[in-house]
Amino acid sequence: MTFISVYNSAYADIEVKSQNGNSVIFIQPRYGDNIELDAWGKLIFSQNGKKIDLSRADRYYTENGSSKVSPGGNYLVVNSVAGDYLDSGDGAKQYVSRSYCSVIDMRNGCIVSDWDGEACSYQWNKSQDILSGSDDNDA
């Protein structure tokens, strides 16, 4: 996994490159209450100078070195968070959020899956572009 960042402010954009030369770029740092550190407002796929915005308006994206390119370089797992205040009925509001992990096809920029929960802790099998919830390569 290769990380390239250009320092131009307190928070520089982060680019995660695949072995095929395509990349995903985290831009527009996010700050504020209930927003995690290393939060970004936009997620951009870049291929041969062309850029596609993969962002969802209801989410922010996190990157602290945790985005995982598959061993073959064909896929990237990206974490995001969606949250909002819910009214409990008595006028009190409580912030609730849900974390997601999306798998991006690094050959074309398509989001091929969008999971939440336990699947976000899956790891790439050694030498394979297969996500597994177990250390057993045959899982």
Which tens digits make up the pLDDT trace of 53-86?
A: 999 999 999 998 888 899 999 999 999 999 988 8
Is pLDDT above 60 for 5?
no
- Residue 133, in any domain of the structure: no
- Residue 118, in any domain of the structure: yes
> CA 32, CA 26: separation in Å to the nearest integer?
17
Is pLDDT above 60 for 1?
no
> CA 79, CA 116: separation in Å to the nearest integer?
9
Number of domains in the chain: 1
Give pLDDT, residue 85: 87
Give pLDDT, residue 138: 53
- Residue 132, in any domain of the structure: no
> CA 139, CA 135: separation in Å to the nearest integer?
8
Nearest CA-CA partner of 78 in 106, 48, 41, 103: 103
> CA 22, CA 28: separation in Å to the nearest integer?
20
pTM score: 0.82
Give pLDDT, residue 31: 93
CATH of residue 102:
2.40.128
